[in-house]
Amino acid sequence: MSHTPVNVLFLCTHNSARSILAEALLNHIGQGRFKGFSAGSSPRENQQPNPLGLQVLRAAGISTDGLRSKSWDEFALPDAPHMDLVITVCDNAAGEVCPYWPGQPATAHWGYADPSAIVGSDEQKLEAFRQTLHAIHRRLELLVSLPEGAVDRLALQTRARDLAHQAPAEALP
C-alpha cells in the first residue's frame, strides 16, 4: 500500500456536511499517501454539499473542486475505486446496513454532531461547521502521520478505531 494511496471513504446519511468536510480535508492533508472520498446512505434527490461547509473549507484554504453529494452505491460498483478504510462520521450511517465493500476494507466510526442541524445566526452556523472541520482535522492529522509500514489493513483499522476515542481539538490555529 505504500506506492498507491490509501483510499478512505467517509459515510454519512445525506453526504452534504461532515463526510464532505472529511473528504476535502483528507485530500488536502493526505500528502498523496491518502485519498478521500465521501458518500451518503440516502442523499436527498438533487442533494448538494452544504454551502456553509463549502464556505468554511474555502476559508481554510481547502479546495472544494469536484465535491458533490453522492450515494454510497457508487462505491459498491465493480469499477469503483478500491477502499482501504471506510469511516462513518454520523451516528445514523453507523447504524445502517452498509453495502458490501469489495476487498473488505477496514472500518471505523468517528461520530460528529451535525453542523447543519444548528439553529441560530449565520455566524453560529458557520462556527458549528468550523468546529466540526477542526475536530475532523485533529483525527485525520493523526491518521496521516502513521508511518508507511503501519498502514496495513489491521493496523489501519486498529488505529482508526482508536482515533474514535480521541477528544476533538478545541480549535486549530
Residues with a catalytic annotation lie at 12, 90, 98
Residue 12 CA to residue 26 CA, distance in Å, equals 16
Side-chain half-sphere of 156: how many Cα atoms within 13 Å?
Answer: 21
What span, in angstroms and rounded, lies between the C-alpha atoms of 66 and 16? Answer: 13
* Distance separating alpha carbons of residues 49 and 64, to the nearest angstrom: 10
Residue with cell 486498529: 158
